Chains A and B, each alone.
Chain A
Amino acid sequence: MLFSRKAEEFYVDPGVLRRLKDRDSKTQEQVWRLERSRLRAIALSVLKSGEDADALVSDLFVDFFYRHVNDIRSGQAIPAYLRIMAVRRARRQMGRARRQVPIEPDFPGEDPLPGGVDRIDRSIWTRWLTECLAGLGEKARRVLRMHYGHEMSYAFIAGELGGSKQAVGKMAKKSLQALRRCLQKHRAAALEE
C-alpha cells in the first residue's frame, strides 16, 4: 500500500500489535515513522536539546520494541503508551542533569572502585559514562543498549539491525574502547582540577 491508513486505523488492526511482539521490522518502522516526530517534540519540550531528545527517542524505541511492547494488550494504546514513556523518561533525565552530583543508586560493583589513591566517586564516574555514551553514534548506542540493557546476543542483534555477528561484536568492542578513552579524559581533567 502506497498510502498509509490513518494512524488510528493502523493501530486498530490487531495484527499490528502481534507483529510488533513478533519483532517484525517493517511494522516497527511503521510505528517509528508515525510516532517519532511527536515523541521527539515531547522530549524536546522537556530537555530543550535536540541532541538529547534524539538520543532519548532512539533509546525509547529500542526499549519499547524489545521489552515494553510485551506488556501491551491493545494496539490502540501504543501511541499514548509511547508518549507517557517519553514524558517520564525526559523528566527523569532532566532531573538527573539538574543535580550537581547525581544521586543515582550506585550500579552494582566492587567497592571501593579500582583506581587507587585517585579513587573516583562512583556517582561521578556514572555521570561521565553517561556523557561518553551520548557521544557515540546512534547505531553504536543501540547495539550497546540491546546487548547490555537487554542482554541480547551479538548474533541476535545482527539479525535485528542487519549485518553479521562479527560486525556487531566489532562495533561493540570499538564502542567500549571509545568509552574507555572518553572516561580517561574525564578523569585526567578532574585530576588536573
Chain B
Amino acid sequence: MSFAPIEEGLRFLLSSDRADGETCSRDLYRYVSGDATSEEAAVFEAHLVLCRPCREDMDAFRKTTESIEPGRSIPGWRPAWMAVAALLLCVLVAGLWVALRSGEGELGSEFRIKGPFRIHMAVQRGERSFVASSGDAFLTGDVLGFFYTAPEEGYLAVLFSDQRGRIVRVFPDRPPGRVRAGTQWPLPDGAVLEPGEGCEWIVGFFSREPSDVEELGELLRRAVQDRKPDCTLGPMEREGVSIHALILRRESS
C-alpha cells in the first residue's frame, strides 16, 4: 500500500512561496527593508489597508525587533545584547554608587569620575554573552561590542590591528568622535571576528582635544611592529592622549 508521492508533497511543502505565505510577501519585504521604490511603497501602503496579515506582520516585526534590540532602529547589526546590556547596567549602577558615596563623583553639567580612561569589550559567542579581558582567547565569529570609561568629556578613537599591522577604525564612524564622561558607556559600533591567527589588538585613544585618527593609526602600526613575544605592544605615547590596549588571542574554533 503506498502513500501519495512524497516528492509531490515535498515540492509543495518546501516551496519558498508556501513558507512566505501570502503572495504579497515580496512587496512586504521590500517595503519594510526600504528596498521599494516610492511608487511601489505607495501601492503597498494602499494594499496595507486591505491586508490584515501584512499589518499584523509589520506590527510583529516592530515588536520583535524592539524586544531583541531595544532602542535600536532597523536595520542594525547587533544581535541580542540584552544579557550584556543588563550586566553593564549593573556595573554602571555600582560605579555611580561608589563614586557618589566617596564624594569623588559629581553629577552636574560636567560629570567627572575618578580613574583612568579604559576601553572594554563585550563578546557574544553563540548564545553566551560576556565581558572579555585583555589577553582572552577569541574565536572566529565572535561578535564584539565596545564600551569605555572616560574620566571627563573628550574625544575617543578605537582602532583594531592584526599582527601584520593592518588597521581598522572601529570608532568613530565619522571623526572627531566626541564622547561623554562616565563609566562603561557603550559605543554604537561593533564587529564580527573573521578568521585570524596569533594576536590582535583593540586600542582606545582618549584625549581632551580632537586627535588625527590617521596619525593614531600610524602610532599603533609602529607599536605592532615593536611588539614583544607575549603580544604586548611596543611603546605608544602621544602628548595629551590616554591610550589603553586590549589583546585578543586567537584560538581555532
Give the B-binding residues of A (Cβ under 8 A): 1-8, 11, 33-34, 37-38, 41-42, 45-46, 59-60, 63, 67-68, 71-74, 76-81, 83-85, 87-89, 91-92, 107-110, 113-116, 118, 120, 122, 125-126, 129-130, 133, 144-145, 148-150, 176, 179-180, 183, 187
Contact = CB atoms under 8 A, between A and B. Distances in A.
A38 to B, nearest CB: 4
B13 A107 contact: yes
Interface of B: 1-16, 19-21, 25-26, 28-30, 32-35, 56-58, 60-61, 64-65, 67-69, 74-80, 124, 126, 141, 143, 160, 162, 166, 168, 170, 173, 189-196, 200
6 contacts: A41-B79, A45-B64, A78-B75, A84-B58, A88-B20, A125-B9
Contacts of A60: 19
B9 A115 contact: no
Contacts of A92: 19-21
B34 A46 contact: no
Contact of B191 (A3, A74, A126, A180): A3
A87 B10 contact: no
A183 B10 CA distance: 13
B191 A6 contact: yes
| B interface majority secondary structure | mixed
A37 B4 contact: no
A63 B13 CA distance: 13
B33 A84 contact: yes
Contacts of A11: 75
B82 to A, nearest CB: 9
A85 B29 CA distance: 7
Chain A to chain B: the 7 pairs with minimum beta-carbon distance, closest first: A107-B12, A7-B77, A149-B14, A2-B196, A77-B35, A37-B79, A80-B33
Contacts of A37: 79-80, 124, 126, 143
Contact of B168 (A3, A46, A118, A183): A3
Nearest to A45: B64
A71 B33 CA distance: 12
